[in-house]
């Protein structure tokens, strides 16, 4: 990445600095084997053919009862896809592959420690383990269709086994990213009203065996204080039969899964035929207010969309070894490590640890050993590997046909390293733009049908029709060189159904702004607002510039600034807190925190550390600020609003602009000096 780009404050400015890039063309070898090389797909999925075009995706699944209504809009904008249909996600990801492929690897689990053996789980073994665990969930934990259960699990084979066992019963899983704190887990337990928590006792991260069990104890205590009692904690063991967490088990509440499983050996559970529009899972994500939103994803629509996009955008064939180096605790892992690839009978790789352990050659050794041919990761990982091991990929003998980037904008320089060094100039790249809410891809090139352009996601994928609106709701045409709010004109099967328990917030956040008629039952009146800024080039490719709301994208994941600010306010001494995004070479963005103290308290390095540690415990290490600046006062407008724009400029070493209209302009100079400017 060029130095000058590192210090930009505004995403729009970055875009201005990037000129138009040249096209890169996929190889004829790739095109010859691609799942989708028929340009007519875009006619089939045109707006004129909407919504019937999505029958093609529904037909990738096996249904107990075929649906009768493709799109039910009667409760707009809570769309119901494939109404009347009955389907089971676990059946579609496991059982239906047994007849032809029971002996094929479904999951390659790669432990972080290189001396530990890779676990290769066949579809038959996955079937057995999912069934036995489903029996345990039903008959020991008392769970049934429609109940919610919180999972706070690290990257492990047991995580998809747990998800698929829930799906088998119609139990709604809510997986919390393993790196999140006990507090974050508690909030999600309370919001989803889970009475069962499933965790793993420990896992490896950067060479250390982390005690994860302690997070369960914190979560259960805090959840109970907030009114949600957890009566069972099911604990998978990182090493079955061996204690690897010092945190004791609580009698009558905590159970080691592998002990209880002994009672369920050989048990088989018929998958429950679920109505297509019943929820499959919740996935929490950050918004502009403090409380995370539980995005509710459906069974039929979601699974059809994850399978369809995995097949046509990821180009997954059953014979592929596919590695999405993301965490299952995020939506990327749900759609593109677990549900999409397994629905297509591919072999999916699950890697426990960090990409650079024990050295930056690790990902390429894994690729070489397993003969991975599709690779998927985020710009933050690509930047890190480019920085610390730029020449590593060339040392290993692997061949990718296809690579993905996801989660945040990728700088063209970084894209080119990915293409040339990691892809060895042979792999097609897709830059997939989407969100937790959308279940699957929104914009990307179809790899065999359109050239790649570094830094641009591409056009809408089949059946997705984006539009950019200005603040007045007027369309900004392609080639105008102006950014605006990118929206999607039509619903699609992967889209979330609502925010769990908060329909009003769902409508307000995503639809209120550009809705043409709040009483309408016509989907044309309800464009979906993504909350991202974007520009559309003359060729129709979209370049995503980043969030327009108060959300910071750290390493490809959304953190609400309000969430971090409320965590800082938990510290007794803190009076006010303001978070601003600061550009970071590897993570993309990082939060920088400014706080002022209550009267009678003084700044000290110990207090800075206390505040920073509190944020790690309240949210997780991912939210740790770059720096905690304890300031005498915040720069404020005369009406008392904190001027985050000014703080952002200081953090990013930029010109603060005109501050004379502030209530306290002198503080700006003081803060600048403190920041060494």
**CA gap 360, 277 in Å, rounded:** 43
Rounded to the nearest whole angstrom, what is the least distance from the CB of residue 283 to ligand WT7 in the complex?
A: 8
**CA gap 20, 504 in Å, rounded:** 41
Rounded to the nearest whole angstrom, what is the least distance from the CB of residue 430 to ligand WT7 in the complex?
A: 9
Q: Which of 179, 439, 546, 591 binds ligand WT7 (CB under 6 A)?
A: 546
Cβ-based nearer residue to ligand WT7, 166 or 535: 535
Rounded to the nearest whole angstrom, what is the least distance from the CB of residue 159 to ligand WT7 in the complex?
A: 17
Range in contact with ligand WT7 (rule: CB under 6 A) among 52-60, 325-333, 614-622, 665-673: 325-333
Residue 532 touches ligand WT7, criterion: CB under 6 A: yes
Q: Which of 553, 561, 596, 612 binds ligand WT7 (CB under 6 A)?
A: 553
For every residue of 358-414, DSSP letters joined together read S-TTHHHHHHHHHT--EEEE-HHHHHHHHHH-TTSGGGS----SEEEEESS---HHH
Cβ-based nearer residue to ligand WT7, 232 or 558: 558
Please state, as a whole number, how many other Cβ atoms lie within 10 Å of the Cβ of residue 52. Answer: 12
Size of the site for ligand WT7 (CB under 6 A): 24
Rounded to the nearest whole angstrom, what is the least distance from the CB of residue 11 to ligand WT7 in the complex?
A: 9
Cβ-based nearer residue to ligand WT7, 165 or 452: 452
Query: Six-digit token pair at 163?
Result: 């998800």
Q: Which of 128, 316, 349, 544 binds ligand WT7 (CB under 6 A)?
A: 544
Q: Which residue is nearest to ligand WT7 (CB)?
A: 436
Residue 432 touches ligand WT7, criterion: CB under 6 A: yes
**CA gap 328, 153 in Å, rounded:** 9
Give the helix ranges, DSSP H, for 484-554: 503-510
Residue 452 touches ligand WT7, criterion: CB under 6 A: no
Per-residue binding string, ligand WT7, 379-408, x by CB under 6 A, is ---------------------------xxx
Query: Six-digit token pair at 310?
Result: 């995995």
Residue 285 touches ligand WT7, criterion: CB under 6 A: yes
Residue 440 touches ligand WT7, criterion: CB under 6 A: no
Per-residue binding string, ligand WT7, 9-48, x by CB under 6 A, is ----------------------------------------
Residue 496 touches ligand WT7, criterion: CB under 6 A: no
Residue 433 touches ligand WT7, criterion: CB under 6 A: yes
- Residue 270 is classified by DSSP as P
Query: Six-digit token pair at 495?
Result: 């889209």
**CA gap 351, 361 in Å, rounded:** 14
Cβ-based nearer residue to ligand WT7, 71 or 410: 410
Rounded to the nearest whole angstrom, what is the least distance from the CB of residue 447 to ligand WT7 in the complex?
A: 14
**CA gap 501, 174 in Å, rounded:** 14
Query: Six-digit token pair at 441?
Result: 């891809």
Give the helix ranges, DSSP H, for 24-149: 28-33, 41-44, 55-58, 89-93, 98-101, 123-139
Q: Which of 156, 435, 498, 651 binds ligand WT7 (CB under 6 A)?
A: 435
The CA-atom distances, in angstroms, between 323 and each of 24, 31, 305, 476 are 23, 20, 19, 37
**CA gap 614, 36 in Å, rounded:** 49
User: How many whole angstroms from its chain centre is CA 637?
Assistant: 36
Cβ-based nearer residue to ligand WT7, 459 or 558: 558
Cβ-based nearer residue to ligand WT7, 533 or 574: 533
Name every residue whose Cβ is closer than 8 Å to that of residue 89 and which is 6 or more positions away in sequence. 164, 167, 274, 280, 299, 303, 339, 343
Residue 332 touches ligand WT7, criterion: CB under 6 A: yes
Residue 557 touches ligand WT7, criterion: CB under 6 A: yes
Rounded to the nearest whole angstrom, what is the least distance from the CB of residue 308 to ligand WT7 in the complex?
A: 17
For residues 92 and 310, is the Cβ–Cβ distance under 8 A? no
Rounded to the nearest whole angstrom, what is the least distance from the CB of residue 607 to ligand WT7 in the complex?
A: 31
Report how many helices (DSSP H) and strands (DSSP E) the chain contains, helices first: 23, 30
Range in contact with ligand WT7 (rule: CB under 6 A) among 463-471, 472-480, 543-551, 563-571: 543-551
Per-residue binding string, ligand WT7, 243-262, x by CB under 6 A, is --------------------
Through-space distance between the first and last CA atoms of the chain, rounded to whole angstroms:
24
**CA gap 627, 608 in Å, rounded:** 8
Name every residue whose Cβ is closer than 8 Å to that of residue 498 and which is 6 or more positions away in sequence. 78, 296, 506
Range in contact with ligand WT7 (rule: CB under 6 A) among 20-28, 31-39, 146-154, 555-563: 555-563
Strand pairing report for 293-298 and 279-285: antiparallel
Q: Which of 122, 299, 436, 614 binds ligand WT7 (CB under 6 A)?
A: 436
Rounded to the nearest whole angstrom, what is the least distance from the CB of residue 407 to ligand WT7 in the complex?
A: 4
Contact positions toward ligand WT7, by CB under 6 A?
A: 285, 330-332, 406-409, 431-436, 457, 530, 532, 544, 546-547, 553, 556-558
């Amino acid at each position: 990445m060029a130095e000058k780009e590192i210090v930009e404050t505004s995403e729009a400015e970055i875009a201005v600095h990037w000129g138009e890039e040249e096209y890169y063309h996929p190889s004829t070898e790739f095109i010859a084997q691609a799942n989708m090389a028929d340009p007519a797909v875009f006619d089939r999925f045109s707006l004129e053919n909407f919504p019937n075009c999505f029958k093609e995706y529904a037909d990738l699944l096996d249904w107990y009862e075929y649906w009768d209504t493709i799109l039910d809009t009667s409760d707009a904008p809570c769309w119901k896809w494939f109404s009347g249909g009955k389907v089971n996600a676990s059946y579609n990801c496991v059982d239906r592959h047994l007849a032809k492929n029971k002996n094929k690897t479904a999951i390659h689990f790669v432990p972080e420690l290189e001396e530990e053996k890779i676990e290769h789980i066949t579809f038959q073994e996955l079937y057995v383990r999912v069934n036995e665990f489903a029996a345990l969930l039903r008959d020991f934990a008392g769970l049934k269709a429609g109940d919610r259960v919180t999972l706070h699990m690290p990257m492990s084979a047991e995580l998809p086994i747990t998800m698929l066992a829930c799906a088998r019963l119609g139990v709604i899983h809510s997986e919390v990213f393993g790196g999140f704190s006990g507090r974050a887990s508690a909030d999600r337990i309370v919001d989803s009203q889970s009475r069962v928590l499933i965790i793993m006792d420990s896992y490896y991260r950067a060479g250390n065996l982390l005690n994860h069990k302690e997070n369960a104890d914190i979560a259960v205590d805090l959840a109970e204080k907030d009114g949600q009692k957890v009566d069972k904690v099911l604990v998978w063991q990182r090493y079955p039969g061996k204690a690897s967490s010092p945190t004791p088990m609580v009698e009558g509440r905590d159970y080691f899964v592998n002990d209880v499983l002994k009672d369920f050996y050989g048990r088989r559970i018929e998958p429950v035929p679920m109505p297509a529009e019943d929820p499959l899972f919740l996935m929490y994500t950050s918004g502009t207010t403090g409380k995370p939103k539980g995005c509710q994803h459906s069974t039929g629509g979601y699974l059809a969309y994850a399978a369809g996009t995995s097949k046509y955008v990821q180009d997954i064939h059953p014979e592929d070894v596919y590695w999405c180096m993301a965490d299952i605790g995020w939506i990327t892992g749900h759609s593109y490590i677990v549900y999409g690839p397994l629905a297509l009978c591919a072999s999916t790789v699950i890697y426990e640890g960090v990409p650079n352990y024990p050295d930056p050659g690790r990902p390429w050794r894994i690729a070489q050993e397993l003969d991975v041919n599709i690779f998927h990761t985020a710009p933050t990982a690509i930047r890190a590997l480019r920085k610390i091991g730029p020449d590593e990929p060339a040392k290993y003998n692997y061949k990718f046909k296809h690579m993905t980037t996801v989660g945040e904008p990728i700088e063209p320089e970084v894209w080119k390293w990915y293409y040339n060094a990691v892809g060895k100039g042979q792999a097609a790249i897709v830059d997939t733009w989407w969100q937790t809410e959308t279940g699957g891809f929104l914009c990307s090139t179809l790899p065999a049908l359109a050239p790649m352009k570094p830094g641009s996601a591409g056009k809408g994928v089949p059946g997705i029709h984006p539009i950019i609106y200005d603040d007045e709701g007027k369309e900004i045409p392609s080639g105008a060189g102006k950014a605006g709010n990118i929206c999607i004109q039509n619903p699609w099967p992967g889209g979330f159904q609502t925010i769990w328990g908060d329909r009003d917030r769902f409508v307000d956040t995503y639809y209120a702004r550009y809705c043409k008629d709040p009483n309408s039952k016509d989907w044309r009146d309800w464009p979906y607002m993504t909350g991202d800024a974007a520009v559309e080039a003359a060729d129709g490719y979209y370049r995503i510039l980043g969030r327009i709301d108060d959300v910071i994208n750290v390493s490809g994941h959304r953190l609400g600034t309000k969430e971090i600010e409320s965590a800082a306010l938990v510290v007794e001494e803190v009076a006010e807190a303001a978070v601003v995004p600061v550009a970071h070479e590897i993570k993309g963005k990082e939060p920088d925190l400014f706080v002022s103290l209550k009267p009678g308290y003084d700044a000290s390095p110990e207090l800075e550390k206390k505040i920073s540690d509190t944020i790690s415990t309240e949210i997780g290490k991912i939210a740790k600020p770059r720096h905690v600046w304890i300031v005498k006062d915040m720069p404020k407008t005369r009406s008392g609003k904190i001027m985050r724009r000014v703080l952002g400029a200081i953090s990013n070493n930029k010109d603060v602009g005109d501050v004379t209209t502030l209530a306290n302009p002198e503080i700006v100079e003081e803060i600048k000096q403190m920041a060494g400017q």
